[in-house]
Structure 1
Amino acid sequence: MASGRRVRIAYFVSHPIQYQAPLLRRIAREPDIDLHAFFFSDISVRGYADKGFGNVQVKWDVPLLDGYKSSFLPGIRKGNSFAFTRPVNYGIHTALNSGSFDAVWLHGYHTLNSLQVLALAKAHDLPVMLRAESMLYDRPRTGKTLAAKRAFFAGLRSAVRCVLPIGTANAAYWQYYLGEQFPMFRVPYAVDNDFFQGRSQQAAPAREALRKELGLEPGRPIFLFASKLQKRKRCIDLVEAYLRLAPAPGVDPHAYLLIIGDGEERSAIEGRIQASGLSSIRMLGFKNQGELPRYFDLCNAFILPSIHEPWGLIVNEVMNAGRTVIVTDQVGCQPDLIRNGENGLVFPAQNIDALRAALASILDDPDLAIRLGQRALETISRFSFEEDVAGLRQAIAYCVPGFPA
C-alpha cells in the first residue's frame, strides 16, 4: 500500500444495527481507514414489527447512520424479516468494482447475500475479514446437518482471509470449524460505554421518581430482566426462581421483579404470574434503547437466564451502570465479562434452584450487589471500542500489505 494512502474497507452487513453504529463512527475517526458500510436492508431505519418482540413496532431512538459513510444496496424479496433468501440484493459487484477497495469486512455468513459477497470478493481478488456471533453450544443439530456444516466450512476456509472473534466462545467456534491455526484477530463485542455510563449518571437523580412512577415501595430491592420474551431467553426460569423466594404461598418476596420486553412467551409468563397471586412482579413491555439506562440505574441486579445466547450485549450495557449481573453459563459473553463471585454471578442454565440461590445471595447481603456492580463497571470500562479498533487494524495489516497495525 502506498505510503500515506488510506486503506479502503467495504463493510457488508444486514442492516443498520443500533449496537454497531457507534463502532462504525469510531472507526471513521481513524485517519488511515476509509470504511464504507453497505446494508442489505433499511428495516431498522424505517421501522418494523419485530417478531421477536411480539410484533411490537420498533424504531430505534438512537442515530443509526450518522458519522460514517454508508449505502443501501438495491434488492428484491424485501420485507420485515430476515432469512437465507430474504432480502436478496444486487449491486454488490458494482459497489466493489467502483470503490477501489483494499479488503472486505463481512458480518455473517449464513445468507444468500453473504455468499454473494464471498464469491464476488474472490472474483475481485479482495481479502475477506469475517465476523459472526456463532458458538459451539448452540441449539442441537442432527448428524446430517453437522456433516453439511463441516463441508460448508471446508469451502469457507478458502474464501476468507481471517476471522474476527467477538469473544472466547466465538473463537472456540472458529477454531473448531476452521482449524487451530486459522488467522484470528479479536474484535470483541463492545457497546458505546461512554453513552451508557453517561445515561446512567443522568438517570441517578431521578431514580426515586421512577420508583414512584412504577408504584414501587422505597427501600425494596429490584431484580430486572430486559430482553425479548423468547423461549431461549428463559425468562420463565427467572419467574420460577423468584417465586421460590416467597416466604409462604401468595406472600410477596422482599424484592420486586421487573420484566422489560415482549414476545412469544409473554402470555405464558403472564399466566404464571397471575397463578402465583403475587403483586410484586411487573411486566413493563418493550422499552427503546435510550430508555433502558433508567431501569438499569434503578435495579440492584440484572438477570439474563438465556440458553444458546451468542453474546448478550445488554450485559455490557448493565455493567456500564455499575450493577450486578447474573447470567447462565450459556450466555456467550460470560467467559469474557463475568467472573462468578468477583464481578457478577454465574449459574448453570435452566437450574432454577441455583438461580434462586443467586437471587437470595443478593437479598441476604445488600452490600454484595454494590461490590459486584463496582467491579463490573471496572471490567466493562476496559472492554471498549478501542479494543475493537486495535483488533481491526491488526486484521487489516494482515490482509493489506503495508498497512500499519
Structure 2
Amino acid sequence: MPLNAQGSTAKVRLAYLVSHPIQYQVPLLRRIAQEPDIDLTVLFGSDFSVRDYKDEGFGVGIKWDVPLLDGYHHEFLPSLRDTSGVSVTSPMNHGIFSRLRRGDGQQPFDALWVHGYATVNAMHGILAANTLGIPVLLRAESWLRDRSRSGAKLVAKKLFFDLLARLVDATLPIGSLNAEYWQHYLGEDFRQFLMPYAVDNSYFQQRSLSAQSGRAELLAELDLDPARPVILFASKLQYRKHCDDLIEAYTKLAPAAGAEPLPYLLIVGDGEARAELEAQAAATGFGSIRFCGFRNQSELPRFFDISSVFVLPSRHEPWGLIVNEVMNAGRAVIISDDVGCQPDLIVDGKEGAIFPVRDIPALTAALQRVLASPETAAAMGQRALERIKTWSFEEDVQGLRQALAAVTGKIQS
C-alpha cells in the first residue's frame, strides 16, 4: 500500500454523496474502490434506478442491464422525499450530518465529494461537512452556455456562488467548458483538479469488438444492405437533441429528386419527440430510415459496429457521454458546437466534424465530408479511438488523488 503524506499506510476516508446509482458512474466507483489507500463510501439518496422506473427523457420504462451496486461500498440514506427522479427537492434525505460524523467509534470522513450543487441534498451535505470540518470536493456538469436569465437571477446566482466558494475546497471539472464555468463563478485562483467525464473505455471497446461476430445478423434484422454506409443517432428523443435537424439534413443527401440517399439513417432511442420524428421521416418517402427504439447500454455497441458515422446535433448538451462510447468503437463523430465534450474530444476534420447548432446546411456539409469515402470515415474513426484512450478512468483517479492530496494531506497524488 502506498504511504500517505505522513509516511503511514492509513487510508483516506472519502464519502461520495450522489442522488442515485448512475449507470455511467458505477464503473468509475468500482475503479476508485480498487485504490489501496482510498476508503470510499458512496451515499445514495435514492435507489430508484435499480428498480424498474420510467425515465422522463426516454419516456419509457427502464431497467438497466448492467449491475449498479457491485464492487464498491455504498449506503442508501434514509428518505424524506423520493419521487423516482432527480429534482431540486428529490431525493431528499435525513441523517447526512450524522453519517458524515460517523459514530460508534468510527473515524469521521476525511473528505466529502458531492455530485452537483443545485439540490437540497447537495447543499445539506456541503453544509454538514463544513460544520464537521470536512473538506468538500465538488463535481458537476455546468457550463456557461446556459439558458438566459434575468438580471435579478444573475445577481442571485453570483451571490450564491460567493457563498459556495467559501464552502467548497476544490472543484473537479469534467472538461474544458466546465473548468471555464468554475473559474468564472468561483474565481481564477480557485483550486481545480481535472476529473474527466469518462466512460468505461475497456467495456465499450471489448463490446464493440465482440459485436463484429454478430454484424451480419443485425444487418439482416434491420434489413440493411452491408454495402451502404450507416448514419447513427442514439440518444433520448428529446426536442433539444434535434434529431429533426439530422433528418432534414439527411434528406439533402439524396442525389436527385425521387432518389434516396446512399447512407441509411438509424435512430436509436425513445422519448417525447418520437411520434413527430416518425411523421417527419415518413413524409420523406424514404425507405432508408429506421427507428430502433430504446436499447440498453449493453446493446449499443452492436449499433456502433454497423455505423459509419455517429451524429449528435443537440442544443445545450452539457457533455454527451454517448460520444465517448461511440469513439471507443472507432467511429467518426459529428456533433454540434453546443455539445460540451467538443473542445476536449473532437477536432473538426480529425475525429469527425463540428457544425454550428441548428445550422442544417452545415450539418449536411459535415455529413458529406465525413462520408466522402469509406476510407475518410474509417480514418476519422481510428483517430477517435486513439483520442478517447487518453480520456479515461485512469485520468479520473489521478485527478481525484491530486485533489485529495491537496485538501487532506493524507494521500500521495
Please give the alpha-carbon distance, in whole angstroms, between the structure 2 residues aligned to 1:306 and 1:235.
8
Please give the alpha-carbon distance, in whole angstroms, between the structure 2 residues aligned to 1:5 and 1:58.
41
Does residue 19 (structure 1) correspond to residue 24 (structure 2)? The answer is: yes
Aligned residues: 404
Aligned equivalent of 1:266, options 274, 277, 280: 274
Please give the alpha-carbon distance, in whole angstroms, between the structure 1 residues aligned to 2:49 and 2:327.
25
User: Equivalent residue for 2:11?
Assistant: 6
CA-to-aligned-CA distance 1:322-377 (integer Å, 9 cap, x gap): 00011111111110000111112111111100110111123322211000000000
Aligned equivalent of 1:74, options 62, 74, 78: 78
User: Equivalent residue for 2:175?
Assistant: 167
What are the ranges of 5 or more consecutive residues in structure 2 without an aligned counterpart? none
What secondary structure, in the 3-state scheme, does the structure 1 residue paired with 2:335 have? strand
What secondary structure, in the 3-state scheme, does the structure 2 residue paired with 1:274 have? helix
Q: Please list, as runs of the form range in 1=range in 2, the aligned pairs for 1:211-222 lying within 5 A after superposition.
A: 211-222=219-230
Please give the alpha-carbon distance, in whole angstroms, between the structure 1 residues aligned to 2:17 and 2:343.
28
CA contact (8 A) 1:167 1:189 kept: yes
Please give the alpha-carbon distance, in whole angstroms, between the structure 2 residues aligned to 1:287 and 1:353.
30
User: Equivalent residue for 2:68?
Assistant: 64
Residue type of the alignment partner of 1:354: A
What secondary structure, in the 3-state scheme, does the structure 1 residue paired with 2:57 have? helix
Aligned equivalent of 1:84, options 58, 75, 88: 88
Query: What is the percent sequence identity of the aligned residues?
Result: 57
CA contact (8 A) 2:260 2:288 kept: yes
CA contact (8 A) 1:231 1:265 kept: yes
What secondary structure, in the 3-state scheme, does the structure 1 residue paired with 2:371 have? helix
Please give the alpha-carbon distance, in whole angstroms, between the structure 2 residues aligned to 1:249 and 1:52.
36
CA contact (8 A) 1:307 1:331 kept: yes
CA contact (8 A) 2:12 2:410 kept: no
CA contact (8 A) 1:393 1:404 kept: yes
Cα shift at 1:145: 1.8
CA contact (8 A) 1:250 1:276 kept: no
Does residue 204 (structure 1) correspond to residue 212 (structure 2)? The answer is: yes
CA contact (8 A) 2:305 2:329 kept: yes
What secondary structure, in the 3-state scheme, does the structure 1 residue paired with 2:40 have? strand
Q: Please list, as runs of the form range in 1=range in 2, the aligned pairs for 1:1-400 lying within 5 A after superposition.
A: 3-54=8-59, 56-98=60-102, 100-400=108-408
How does the TM-score come out when normalised to structure 1?
0.98
Cα shift at 1:150: 0.8
Cα shift at 1:139: 2.2
Cα shift at 1:218: 2.4
CA-to-aligned-CA distance 1:122-161 (integer Å, 9 cap, x gap): 1111000000000011222222222111111010000000
What are the ranges of 5 or more consecutive residues in structure 1 without an aligned counterpart? none
Please give the alpha-carbon distance, in whole angstroms, between the structure 2 residues aligned to 1:365 and 1:145.
50
Please give the alpha-carbon distance, in whole angstroms, between the structure 1 residues aligned to 2:150 and 2:207.
45
User: How large is the Cα RMSD of the aligned pairs?
Assistant: 1.1
Please give the alpha-carbon distance, in whole angstroms, between the structure 2 residues aligned to 1:10 and 1:363.
47
What secondary structure, in the 3-state scheme, does the structure 2 residue paired with 1:241 have? helix
What secondary structure, in the 3-state scheme, does the structure 2 residue paired with 1:291 have? helix
Cα shift at 1:250: 4.2
Cα shift at 1:247: 2.5
Please give the alpha-carbon distance, in whole angstroms, between the structure 1 residues aligned to 2:272 and 2:164.
35
Please give the alpha-carbon distance, in whole angstroms, between the structure 2 residues aligned to 1:229 and 1:143.
33
How does the TM-score come out when normalised to structure 2?
0.96
